[in-house]
Amino acid sequence: MAITSVLVFSHCLLNAQTFNADDWYIVSSGDPTGISDGGTSTATINFDTSGGSTNARNSYIWSYFAEEGSEVSLADGMQLTLTTSITVDYNSASSAILNGFRFGFYDSASPHQTPATAGANRIGAPADARDGWTGSFTSTVTSGAGSVFRKDVGNDAAFANSVSTTTDGLDSGVLNKSYTNGVPVSLTMIYGRIGDDMIMSGSYGGDAFSGTFTDYFASDYPSTFDTIGFFLGSQGTGGATAESMTFSDAIVTYGTIPEPSTNAAIVGIMAFGLVVLVHRKQRR
């Protein structure tokens, strides 16, 4: 619990190294038409609505945040944090629930995709679901806390596929979300390293999740990362359906895990600011 509380304030990290997740691609069994602004930290994945109620199903979406060959090494006492907001435009009023949404940090373990290889629309071939990636992800669930999945070395399945994974249960997880068309939903995802343990925490749509993957980094398991990845599973029983999905201001930070005293100071400053603001409003 103490470690989780430390990680919740990751967005307040001081002296952190910051990366823009600004190189986006997609592989999908659905009907993507391309990615708008795929070379920025705010990118929109567009889908062909003529594909019907499953036009966005089984979509693997990723963005590189570190250059190829310059992966970020997650050392003991350090953490990676992703912050972004997600906006979905649906093509029918009944398609507001996104089930089985997966998100994680990865080492792409292969030459980076480029617009030259994927095309200007940034849609990869089926093989570009990226065999051999390592890393881990979690998923929204219908009920319960869910799990964190570690993508194992030597796997030959897509990066957010539950095949070729080792799992560990979360203490708390997030449920499937109901999106309102055009209204952003926030996502914060944190990976911290304490010895060989990986501490995952964050929030999605205001719901917190946390857990510890014991001995995650043992046995020389790779501890480098260069990519954030997402998976659109099914919506209801018919598959995911959307006109577009936008990831806004996707930022990854890397820095030391804050001390509890640092977090207390941050909370105190925030509380003081709130008191001053309320006082000023009262005077007005």
Predicted pLDDT at 7: 42
Q: Does the pLDDT of residue 93 top 70, yes or no?
A: no
Nearest to 23 by CA among 135, 86, 108: 108
Length of the chain: 284
Average pLDDT of the residues in 74-95: 86
| Residue 74 half-sphere exposure toward CB, CA atoms < 13 A | 30
Task: Decide: 122 and 24 in contact? Cβ < 8 Å.
Answer: yes
**At residue 142, what are phi and psi to the nearest 5 degrees?**
-70, -35
What is the β-pairing status of strands 147-151 and 43-47? unpaired
Say how far apart CA 75 and CA 195 lie, in whole Å.
9
Average pLDDT of the residues in 111-120: 90
Predicted pLDDT at 53: 76
**Lowest pLDDT segment from 11-15, 66-70, 232-236, 272-276:** 272-276
Average pLDDT of the residues in 103-109: 92
Let me know if 194 is exposed, middle or buried by CB neighbors in 10 A (0-12, 13-18, 19+): middle
What is the separation, in whole angstroms, between the first and last Cα of the chain?
Answer: 42
Tell me the domains of the chain and their CATH numbers: 2-258 (2.60.120)
CA angle 79, 248, 126 (to 5 degrees): 85
Predicted pLDDT at 192: 96
Predicted pLDDT at 20: 97
Residue found by looking up tokens 């005077």 in the block: 283
| Residue predicted with more confidence, 44 or 221 | 44
pLDDT digits (tens, 9 = 90+) for 223-234: 999 999 999 886
Predicted pLDDT at 55: 86
The model's pTM is: 0.85
Say how far apart CA 237 and CA 81 lie, in whole Å.
33
214 Cβ contact partners less than 8 Å away, ≥ 6 residues apart: 168, 196, 197
